[in-house]
Amino acid sequence: QSALTQPASVSGSPGQSITISCTGTSSDVGSYNLVSWYQQHPGKAPKLMIYEGSKRPSGVSNRFSGSKSGNTASLTISGLQAEDEADYYCCSYAGSSTFLFGTGTKVTVL
């Protein structure tokens, strides 16, 4: 059960779009459309941003979108804002009611 692979860091200027990848295997990301994305600001609890690959919970900005291709899921943040600076984690269902998180990506707004 190795963690899903994410880039350690991604950066962008205000207003730009950035994409964070999350690579798993055919046993997790590739087998289920059950990838979630979480935002975590320093010292705070994670917050659900995307579930089931591309769905947004009520109250989450439509600047956040999710997709999947094969064993890789992606989170795109468009119109980057200073408040988007945080750590982001993907999480995939891995079968037998277990879950696997990604390694995490630090997003920096330049």
Binding site for another protein (CB under 8 A): 1, 3, 36, 38, 40, 44-48, 51-52, 57, 89, 91, 96-104
Residue placing its CB nearer to another protein in the complex, 51 or 82:
51
In the complex, the smallest distance separating the C-beta of residue 72 from another protein, rounded to whole angstroms, is 18
In the complex, the smallest distance separating the C-beta of residue 61 from another protein, rounded to whole angstroms, is 17
> Long-range contacts of range 2-5, CB-CB < 8 Å, 24 or more positions apart?
3/100, 3/101, 3/102, 3/103, 4/28, 4/29, 4/90, 4/91, 4/92, 4/100, 4/101, 4/102, 4/103, 5/102, 5/103
In the complex, the smallest distance separating the C-beta of residue 15 from another protein, rounded to whole angstroms, is 28
In the complex, the smallest distance separating the C-beta of residue 74 from another protein, rounded to whole angstroms, is 18
Residue placing its CB nearer to another protein in the complex, 18 or 104:
104
CA separation for the pair 12, 48 (Å, rounded): 22
Residue placing its CB nearer to another protein in the complex, 3 or 16:
3
